C-alpha cells in the first residue's frame, strides 16, 4: 500500500510539473519577451588568434612583456593584480635583477608598520611581494572612480566568457552611441558619466577608454604601439596571469598523447604476438 501511494504522489508531481512546463513554453511562444537594447546592440568579440590558443599553443614572452608594459603604464593606475607576485615575471623572460628593479621602482609601495613607533608606513616592494593595489580600500577605489569599483585583473580572462578576445574587444570597442539605439529604445541613452561600449554586458561602462591613442606606450622592443596592438598584448598578458602554467599543461598534454599512441601500438603488437598461432 505505501508503494502505491508513493507512486501516485510521484505521478501527480510529474503531471503538475508537465502542465507548468507546457504553460511556460506556450506563453514563451505566444507572447515572447520584447527584445532589449542589450540583446539587439550587444556585439560578440572576434577571435584575435593569440599564440597561446589551441592545443599546441604557447605564450610569446616578447608579447607578454609588451602586455605587462601596457598594464604597468596604463591599467595599474586603477586595477590590481593581487594574485601575481613580482617574481612571477621571471616566467615571462625577465631576469632576476630586472624583477628586483621593477619591484623596487613600482609606484605603489607595500603597506607596513613602523617597528619603532607602531604607526602605519610603507616600504619598497621586493620580488616576493604581490602587486599592490592602487587604492587603500574599496571606499577609496569607488571615490576615485565615480563610485565604480575597478575589478582585479589577475583572473579576468577566466572570469569573462571568451576572456582574451573579450579583453581586446572591450579595450578597442569604445564608440559613440548609435542613433538607431536611442531611436529604437528611447530610454537607453548612455547615462552621464558612463561610456558606450557594445562589448560590455549592458552597453554602458563606467571605465573611460584606457587606450586613447596610438603610441600611448613606447615599446622597448620597437613594436609599433597601435591601440589594437596594445589591446592584443595586454589581453595576452592577462591570459598568462590567469593561467601561468599553460605552456606546461599543453606540453604535458602532448606528452600524454604521444604516450597513449605508443601504448596502443605496443598493445596491438602484444595482441598479435599472443594470438599469432591461433587459427580463425
Binding site for heme c: what residues are annotated? 75, 78-79, 207
C-alpha cell at 152: 582585479
- Taking a C-beta distance cutoff of 8 angstroms, is the pair 184, 37 a contact? yes
C-alpha cell at 103: 619591484
Binding-site annotation, residues: 75, 78-79, 207
Tell me the pairing of strands 120-123 and 110-113.
antiparallel
Nearest to 210 by CA among 79, 108, 75: 75
Helix extents (H) in 196-245:
227-242
- Taking a C-beta distance cutoff of 8 angstroms, is the pair 58, 51 a contact? yes
C-alpha cell at 198: 557594445
218: helix, strand or coil: coil
What sign does the dihedral 247-249-254-255 (CA atoms) show?
Answer: positive
CA atoms within 13 A on the CB side of 86: 24
CA–CA gap between residue 103 and residue 87 (Å, rounded): 9
Cell numbers 616576493 correspond to what residue? 128
Amino acid at each position: 500500500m505505501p508503494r502505491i501511494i508513493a507512486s501516485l504522489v510521484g505521478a501527480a508531481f510529474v503531471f503538475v510539473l508537465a502542465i507548468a512546463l507546457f504553460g511556460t513554453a506556450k506563453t514563451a511562444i505566444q507572447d515572447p519577451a520584447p527584445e532589449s537594447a542589450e540583446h539587439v546592440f550587444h556585439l560578440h568579440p572576434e577571435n584575435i588568434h593569440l599564440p597561446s590558443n589551441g592545443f599546441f599553443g604557447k605564450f610569446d614572452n616578447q608579447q607578454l612583456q609588451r602586455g605587462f608594459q601596457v598594464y604597468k603604464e596604463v591599467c595599474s593606475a586603477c586595477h590590481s593584480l593581487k594574485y601575481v607576485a613580482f617574481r612571477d615575471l621571471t616566467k615571462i623572460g625577465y631576469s632576476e635583477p630586472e624583477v628586483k628593479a621593477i619591484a623596487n621602482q613600482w609606484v605603489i609601495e607595500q603597506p607596513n608598520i613602523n617597528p619603532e613607533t607602531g604607526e602605519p608606513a610603507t616600504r619598497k616592494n621586493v620580488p616576493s611581494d604581490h602587486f599592490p593595489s592602487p587604492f587603500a580600500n574599496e571606499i577609496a577605489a569607488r571615490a576615485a572612480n565615480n563610485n565604480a569599483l575597478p575589478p582585479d585583473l589577475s583572473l579576468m580572462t577566466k572570469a569573462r566568457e571568451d576572456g582574451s578576445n573579450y579583453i581586446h574587444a572591450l579595450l578597442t570597442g569604445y564608440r559613440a552611441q548609435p542613433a538607431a539605439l536611442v531611436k529604437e529604445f528611447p530610454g537607453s541613452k548612455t547615462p552621464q558619466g558612463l561610456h558606450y561600449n557594445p562589448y560590455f554586458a549592458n552597453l554602458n561602462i563606467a571605465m573611460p577608454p584606457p587606450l586613447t591613442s596610438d603610441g600611448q606606450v613606447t615599446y622597448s622592443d620597437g613594436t609599433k604601439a597601435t591601440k589594437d596592438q596594445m589591446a592584443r598584448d595586454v589581453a595576452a598578458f592577462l591570459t598568462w596571469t590567469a593561467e601561468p602554467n599553460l605552456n606546461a599543461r599543453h606540453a604535458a598534454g602532448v606528452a600524454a598523447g604521444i604516450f597513449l599512441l605508443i601504448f596502443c601500438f605496443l598493445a596491438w603488437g602484444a595482441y598479435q604476438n599472443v594470438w599469432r598461432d591461433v587459427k580463425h
